[in-house]
Amino acid sequence: HVQLVESGGGSVQAGGSLRLSCSASGTNTKTKYCMAWFRQAPGKEREGLGTIDSDGGTSSVDSVKDQFTISKANGQDTLYLQMNNLKPEDSARYYCAGRQLWPGGVCRLRRADFGYWGQGTQVTVS
């Protein structure tokens, strides 16, 4: 059973940076996964930011691709979201998510595909 725990959130001034981490446990080294970062601001829908697969391939949405970078440590147990030049509108609760990636599958940023979710970490930009 895969469990995800985010950390690294906090309060930062506009223009600052934060690096969020997502620690995964219960993963199988012989299994490929599609991992992703989402965020949700009060009163808004959960928004996908980008994905990273077991081979390190990444994809980010256009709105953050020049500002946020997704990466992972060797293996697949720790996922990162580096956020630069933060703005007040980036304030939200940030979640990592994951799902098993079957052979031939595509690591797509579709919320309904992800079965593993962390509890989120709050980011506040003022």
89 and 102 Cβ atoms separated by less than 8 Å: no
CB-count burial class (<10 Å; 0-12, 13-18, 19+) for 70: buried
> pLDDT per residue over 79-123, tens digit each?
999 999 999 999 999 999 999 999 989 999 999 999 999 999 999
Three-state secondary-structure class, residue 112 = helix
- Tell me what percent of the residues of the chain surpass a pLDDT of 90: 86
Three-state secondary-structure class, residue 96 = strand
38 and 64 Cβ atoms separated by less than 8 Å: no
**Can you say whether the dihedral through the CA atoms of 17, 52, 75, 1 is positive or negative?**
positive
Plot region of 48 (φ>0 → left; ψ -120 to 50 → alpha; else → beta): beta
The answer to whether residue 76 scores a pLDDT higher than 90 is: no
Q: What is the pLDDT of residue 77?
A: 87
Mean local confidence (pLDDT), 9-37: 95
Mean local confidence (pLDDT), 10-35: 95
